[in-house]
């Protein structure tokens, strides 16, 4: 099968999942064509079954807002015809689902049938997509998709609640590649950060408001008062300055490391004792799953799809959004005792295995076959 994949190529869970899915499909013999404005950042080596088509356009001074969606639709038309695509899979509804719909209509005029699947990832539904500016187009383009998948059951329910969706949404959870995400031996690195055997707490995100990174700092302050610890903050984004300011005010600056964007997150997770994800909303929480795959327990909020991966009292704990005292109390419980920590670590990896690539990839493959067959 020849599959086109449209995604955001920059840092972000939807782009990661789209790219890892494409790579896994290529390994199984599918031909995969990525169509996006930049090479996806995890698409870093040559593969005989993977092709990348860059969506580029020259901007015209008249355009205050470059018409990316039109350029993307045109590129999809071009790739579909020239590469004889059987299926298009777009990740993140805005604007990929409407671009796919437009391409499909253009192709129809040329007697070329291209079914498309839209995978909903989170803020395309819960935050951005819900904005009145987008609702009619998002609703229409989701309904026009030949197949719709959602990364969690919670996101599926949110989609039905927020939009007038007439079709079935299949839940295919995100997955983890254990050949990459596993506990590596980086003890030398641990010794550099935690010279006196302190615990290491990690948070990774794109530092947007929805991630509530300031809560990570607040929780960490309480942890540190009870258990000697260091905090690694990985990633970058609009809230970073505020978080830095807060950390300077309330923490000793030697205890908090701002590491910025990092490619090899697994190397940092290798030395982590605890992961904190205090998000306002989180359709899935891929970052938490990556931590669990590296045997790191998770302190999170109980929002969105997080309860579908983090098991309260088993792989970590969940608290209400903003309840930093409860998060700190639970974190201290895990970190105060080696045996408790070891048990949570073991439980975390056991649960992460439910979401292994081997378990999830076949779900995408059979969904692809179903959609191609039923849309003939
Ligand atoms: O967070 C976003 O706005 C974008 C999106 C992304 O591209 O990373 O994140 C969402 O998709 C991820 C992959 O499916 C999920 O793991 C994240 O939970 C989800 N983010 C939110 O729901 C806030």
- The string of pLDDT tens digits covering residues 12-49 is 899 999 999 999 999 999 999 999 999 988 888 889 99
Q: Is 20 in the pocket of ligand 1 (CB under 6 A)?
A: no
What per-residue confidence (pLDDT) applies to 130? Answer: 78
According to DSSP, the residues that pair with 119 across neighbouring strands are 91, 149
Residue 251: band (very low, low, confident or very high) from pLDDT cuts 50, 70, 90: confident
| For residues 54-64, average pLDDT | 87
Q: Is 269 exposed, middle or buried (0-12, 13-18, 19+ CB in 10 A)?
A: buried
Share of the chain above pLDDT 90, in %: 87
> The domain at 2-175+356-374 falls in which architecture?
3-Layer(aba) Sandwich (3.40)
Q: Which of 95, 158, 207, 284 to mutate to test the pocket of ligand 1 (most atoms within 8 A of CB)?
A: 284
Mean residue pLDDT of the chain comes to: 95
Atom of ligand 1 nearest to the CA of 126: 22
Residue 65: band (very low, low, confident or very high) from pLDDT cuts 50, 70, 90: confident
Does pLDDT of 129 surpass 80? no
What per-residue confidence (pLDDT) applies to 292? Answer: 98
- The string of pLDDT tens digits covering residues 258-284 is 999 998 999 999 999 999 999 999 999
Does pLDDT of 320 surpass 80? yes
Same fold? 2-175+356-374, 187-355 = yes
Can you list the positions of beta strands (E) in the chain?
2-6, 31-36, 50-54, 87-91, 116-120, 147-150, 170-171, 199-204, 229-234, 256-260, 274-277, 298-301, 316-319
Q: Which is higher by pLDDT, 183 or 367?
A: 367
Q: Where are the domains of the chain?
A: 2-175+356-374, 187-355
What per-residue confidence (pLDDT) applies to 124? Answer: 85
What is the DSSP annotation of 97-147? HHHHHHHHHHHHHTT----EEEEE-SHHHHTTTTSTTTHHHHHHHHHH-SE
Q: Which of 8, 157, 212, 286 to mutate to test the pocket of ligand 1 (most atoms within 8 A of CB)?
A: 286
Does pLDDT of 165 surpass 80? yes
Tell me the backbone φ, ψ of residue 260, rounded to 5 degrees.
70, -165
Q: Is 11 in the pocket of ligand 1 (CB under 6 A)?
A: no
Residue 355: band (very low, low, confident or very high) from pLDDT cuts 50, 70, 90: very high
| For residues 93-103, average pLDDT | 96
Does pLDDT of 240 surpass 80? yes
- 8 A C-beta contact, residue 135 and residue 105: no
What per-residue confidence (pLDDT) applies to 93? Answer: 93
| For residues 278-291, average pLDDT | 97
Does pLDDT of 253 surpass 80? no
Q: Which of 120, 121, 213, 285 to mutate to test the pocket of ligand 1 (most atoms within 8 A of CB)?
A: 121
Angle, nearest 10°, between helix axes 213-226 and 240-250?
20
- Give the torsion through C-alpha atoms of 207, 208, 210, 211, to 10 deg: 0
- How far away, in angstroms, is 106 Cα from ligand 1 center? 30
| For residues 338-347, average pLDDT | 98
| For residues 132-158, average pLDDT | 96
Sheet containing 274-277: give its strands across.
256-260, 229-234, 199-204, 274-277, 298-301, 316-319
Does pLDDT of 366 surpass 80? yes
| For residues 174-182, average pLDDT | 94
| For residues 158-169, average pLDDT | 95
Instruction: Report the 10 Å Cβ neighbour count for 320.
Output: 10
According to DSSP, the residues that pair with 2 across neighbouring strands are 31
Nearest to 112 by CA among 70, 155, 82, 71: 82
- 8 A C-beta contact, residue 277 and residue 301: yes
Instruction: Report the 10 Å Cβ neighbour count for 132.
Output: 6
Residue 185: band (very low, low, confident or very high) from pLDDT cuts 50, 70, 90: confident
Under the phi-then-psi rule, with left for phi > 0, alpha for psi from -120 to 50, and beta for the rest, what region is 374? Answer: alpha
What per-residue confidence (pLDDT) applies to 23? Answer: 96
CA 118 to chain centre: 15
Residue of minimum CA distance from atom 3 in ligand 1? 123
Does pLDDT of 205 surpass 90? yes
> The domain at 187-355 falls in which architecture?
3-Layer(aba) Sandwich (3.40)
What per-residue confidence (pLDDT) applies to 376? Answer: 82
H/E/C letters for each residue in 174-220? Answer: CCECCCCCCCCCCHHHHHHHCCCCCEEEEEECCCCHHHCHHHHHHHH
Q: Is 282 in the pocket of ligand 1 (CB under 6 A)?
A: yes
Residue 92: band (very low, low, confident or very high) from pLDDT cuts 50, 70, 90: very high
- The string of pLDDT tens digits covering residues 206-232 is 999 999 999 999 999 999 999 999 999
Can you list the positions of beta strands (E) in 228-331?
229-234, 256-260, 274-277, 298-301, 316-319
Q: Is 283 in the pocket of ligand 1 (CB under 6 A)?
A: yes
| For residues 156-172, average pLDDT | 96
Atom of ligand 1 nearest to the CA of 211: 23
Does pLDDT of 11 surpass 80? no
| For residues 101-124, average pLDDT | 96
What per-residue confidence (pLDDT) applies to 117? Answer: 98
Tokens of 304: 């969105």
Residue 66: band (very low, low, confident or very high) from pLDDT cuts 50, 70, 90: confident
What per-residue confidence (pLDDT) applies to 309? Answer: 98
Which residue carries 């493959």 as its tokens? 365
DSSP 376: -
**Helix (H/G/I), strand (E/B), else coil: 357:** helix
Atom of ligand 1 nearest to the CA of 287: 16
């Amino acid at each position: 099968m020849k599959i086109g994949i449209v995604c955001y190529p920059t840092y972000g869970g939807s782009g990661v999942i789209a790219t890892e899915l494409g790579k896994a499909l290529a390994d199984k013999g599918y031909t995969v064509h990525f169509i996006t404005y930049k090479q996806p950042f995890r698409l870093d080596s040559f593969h005989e079954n993977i092709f990348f088509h860059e969506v580029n356009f020259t901007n015209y001074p008249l355009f205050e807002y470059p018409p990316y969606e039109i350029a993307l639709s045109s590129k999809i038309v071009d790739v579909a015809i020239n590469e004889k695509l059987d299926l298009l899979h777009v990740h993140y509804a805005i604007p990929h689902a409407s671009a796919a719909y437009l391409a499909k209509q253009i192709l129809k005029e040329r007697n070329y049938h291209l079914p498309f699947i839209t995978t909903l990832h989170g803020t395309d539904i819960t935050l951005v997509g819900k904005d009145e500016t987008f609702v009619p187009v998002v609703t229409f383009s989701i309904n026009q998709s030949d197949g719709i998948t959602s990364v969690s059951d919670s996101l599926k329910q949110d989609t039905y609640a927020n939009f007038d969706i007439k079709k079935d949404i299949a839940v295919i959870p995100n997955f983890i590649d254990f050949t990459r995400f596993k506990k590596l031996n980086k003890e030398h690195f641990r010794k550099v950060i935690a010279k006196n055997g302190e615990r290491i707490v990690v948070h990774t995100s794109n530092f947007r408001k929805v991630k509530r990174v300031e809560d990570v700092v607040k929780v960490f302050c309480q942890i540190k008062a009870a258990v000697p610890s260091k905090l690694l903050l990985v990633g970058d984004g609009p809230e970073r300055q505020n978080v830095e300011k807060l950390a300077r005010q309330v923490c000793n600056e030697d205890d908090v490391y701002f590491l910025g964007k990092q490619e090899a997150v697994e190397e940092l997770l290798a030395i982590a004792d605890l992961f904190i994800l205090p998000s306002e909303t989180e359709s899935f929480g891929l970052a938490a799953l990556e931590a669990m795959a590296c045997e790191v327990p998770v302190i999170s909020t109980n929002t969105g799809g997080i309860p579908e991966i983090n098991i309260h009292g088993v792989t970590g704990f969940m608290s209400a959004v903003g309840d930093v005292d409860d998060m700190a109390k639970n974190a201290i419980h895990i970190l105060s005792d080696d045996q408790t920590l070891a048990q949570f670590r073991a439980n975390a990896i056991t649960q992460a295995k439910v979401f292994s690539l081997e378990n999830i990839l076949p779900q995408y493959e059979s969904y692809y076959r179903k959609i191609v067959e039923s849309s003939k």
